């Protein structure tokens, strides 16, 4: 029978990796993901698998490179400043077409920032992040259950496409505890890896490399990488929708912010306001199609994210000017349901007033802490 547990997000992601057959975990301490390596330090040796506390994030991601090159399922986890250090290795992994899973339990930035939740690494994750022309698959969990599910699934995706898969979480998702279920169904086993470094007994030697010096060789290599990326865009784009079909205002939010937006959708609907939510589960590839489709009936889109506006650019790119896009961006704090609701109402009232950041100052935050939604226009604006 499926096992129901109360777990913290960081541990759930670790258990997801273990259930998916992660052979090796390499970590380095950084808050707010320290439960992750601590969990793996206990569990991996129990199962006869590999755990190393590396000397740095650079070493940890390079250990992932080694283990993956040797044909094993490998992962690392960190938080924003540490993920910056890992970008070197991610670029090499991408170039060498090595599968790898990297969890980023985001904290506030830039620099040391703070240790609270943030979504400030969206650009870094979805645009490649390291040097060169490449992509990583980026999964955005919104619950402890998804910390487990998506981390487990990441190994399958990484192996199938020979790509890096990034779990883009945040401090809240990493630290909070929720009930979750470990399913009974077995996870898919890794595919054969004839390219792996296992010793060349009975075959020609294999080489795992990222240097392509021959005439036209690098360009061919990059074309090949992008063929894979196009395939991922076609086959692996995932999102969840809540009440989008007739929505006047469509929230677009991922991760923790999506939970708040879902709450606001329910609140709004109970008051007769047609609110809806599109929650990207893959932020790369980005779910452009459902957003574009919603533009046929929506008055406007409200992007809610814990940054000064990063995913909002993808929403605008998806819409290509077909609808109003407003932003509620809090760089280093979780937007509250009240301010999300206020912002949606403002969008309705003004029929799309463009970008505003009501939570940017202490005054704004205070003003929206206890909204009185009943006093506002109960009817959404007309189209």
Partner 1 sequence: MKILYERPEALQPCLTHYCAGCGHGIVHRLIAEAIDELGIQGRAVGAAPVGCAVLAHQYLKVDMCEPAHGRTAAVVAAIKRVRPECVVFSYQGDGDLAAIGMAETVHAANRAEPITVFFVNNAVYGMTGGQMAPTTLLGQHTTTTPLGREAGYHGHPIRVCELLATLDGPAYLERVALSSPARIRQAQRAVRKAFITQIEHNGYSLVEFLSPCPTYWHMAPTEAIRFVEEQMTRVFPLGVFRDWEGPRPEPQT
Q: Which residues bind partner 1 (CB under 8 A)?
A: 23-24, 26, 50, 52, 54-56, 58-60, 62-67, 69-70, 72, 74, 88-89, 92, 96, 197-202, 205-211
Residue 11 CB, shortest distance to partner 1, in Å, is 23
In 3D space, the residue among 52, 49, 22 whose CA is nearest the CA of residue 155 turns out to be 22
In 3D space, the residue among 94, 102, 93 whose CA is nearest the CA of residue 28 turns out to be 102
**35-46 helix and 9-19 helix, angle to the nearest 10 degrees:** 30
- 159-178 per-residue burial string, b: 16 or more CB within 10 A, e: under 16: bbbbbbbbbbbbbbbbbbeb
Which lies closer to partner 1 via its Cβ, residue 207 or residue 296?
207
In 3D space, the residue among 5, 238, 9 whose CA is nearest the CA of residue 105 turns out to be 9
Residue 94 CB, shortest distance to partner 1, in Å, is 12
Instruction: Give the tokens for residue 116.
Output: 């609270």
Neighbours of 335 (CB within 10 A): 24
Residue 23 CB, shortest distance to partner 1, in Å, is 6
Residue 189 CB, shortest distance to partner 1, in Å, is 16
Which lies closer to partner 1 via its Cβ, residue 45 or residue 110?
45
Which lies closer to partner 1 via its Cβ, residue 217 or residue 245?
217
Residue 20 CB, shortest distance to partner 1, in Å, is 16
Residue 333 CB, shortest distance to partner 1, in Å, is 35
How many CA within 13 A on the CB side of residue 158?
37
Place of tokens 């670029």: 91
Nearest-10 Cα torsion for 224, 228, 230, 236: 180
Which lies closer to partner 1 via its Cβ, residue 199 or residue 354?
199
Which lies closer to partner 1 via its Cβ, residue 3 or residue 56?
56
Which lies closer to partner 1 via its Cβ, residue 74 or residue 253?
74
Residue 203 CB, shortest distance to partner 1, in Å, is 9
In 3D space, the residue among 278, 276, 284, 275 whose CA is nearest the CA of residue 252 turns out to be 278
In 3D space, the residue among 153, 185, 178 whose CA is nearest the CA of residue 2 turns out to be 185
Place of tokens 């939510």: 277
Quote the CA–CA distance of 19 and 22 in Å, as a whole number.
7
Contact predicate 256/172, CB 8 Å: yes
Which lies closer to partner 1 via its Cβ, residue 1 or residue 213?
213
Quote the CA–CA distance of 226 and 259 in Å, as a whole number.
33
Which lies closer to partner 1 via its Cβ, residue 131 or residue 369?
131
Quote the CA–CA distance of 290 and 148 in Å, as a whole number.
25
Residue 51 CB, shortest distance to partner 1, in Å, is 9
Residue 167 CB, shortest distance to partner 1, in Å, is 20
Which lies closer to partner 1 via its Cβ, residue 69 or residue 334?
69
């Amino acid at each position: 029978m499926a096992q129901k547990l109360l777990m913290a997000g960081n541990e759930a992601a670790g258990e997801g990796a273990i259930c998916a057959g992660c052979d090796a975990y390499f970590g380095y301490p950084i808050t707010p993901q320290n439960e992750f390596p601590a969990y793996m330090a206990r569990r991996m040796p129990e199962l006869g698998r590999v755990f190393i506390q590396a000397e740095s994030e650079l070493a940890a991601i390079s250990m992932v490179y080694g283990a993956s090159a040797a044909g094993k399922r490998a992962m690392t986890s960190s938080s924003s400043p540490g993920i910056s250090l890992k970008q070197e290795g991610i670029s090499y992994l991408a170039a060498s077409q090595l599968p790898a899973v990297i969890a980023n339990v985001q904290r506030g930035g830039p620099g040391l920032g703070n240790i609270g939740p943030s979504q400030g690494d969206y650009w870094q994750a979805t645009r490649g992040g390291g040097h060169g022309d490449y992509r990583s698959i980026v999964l955005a969990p919104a619950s402890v259950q998804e910390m487990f599910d998506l981390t487990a699934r990441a190994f399958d995706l990484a192996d199938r496409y020979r790509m890096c898969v990034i779990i883009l979480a945040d401090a809240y998702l990493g630290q909070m505890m929720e009930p979750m279920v470990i399913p009974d169904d077995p996870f898919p086993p890794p595919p054969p890896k004839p390219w792996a470094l296992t010793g060349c007994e009975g075959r020609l030697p294999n080489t795992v490399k990222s240097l392509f010096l021959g005439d036209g060789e690098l360009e061919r290599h990059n074309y090949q990488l992008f063929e894979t990326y196009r395939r991922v865009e076609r086959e692996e784009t995932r999102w969840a929708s809540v009440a989008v079909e007739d929505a006047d205002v469509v929230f677009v939010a991922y991760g923790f912010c999506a939970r708040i937006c879902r709450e606001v959708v329910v609140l709004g609907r109970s008051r007769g306001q047609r609110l809806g939510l599109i929650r990207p589960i893959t932020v790369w590839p980005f779910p452009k199609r459902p957003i574009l489709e919603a533009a046929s009936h929506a008055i406007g889109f409200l992007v809610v994210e814990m940054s000064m506006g990063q995913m909002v650019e993808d929403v605008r790119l998806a819409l290509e000017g077909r609808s109003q896009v407003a932003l509620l961006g809090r760089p280093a704090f979780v937007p509250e349901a009240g301010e999300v609701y206020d912002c949606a109402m403002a969008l309705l009232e003004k029929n799309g007033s463009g970008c505003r950041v009501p939570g940017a100052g202490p005054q704004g935050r205070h003003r929206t802490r206890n909204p009185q939604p009943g006093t506002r226009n109960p009817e959404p604006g007309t189209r």
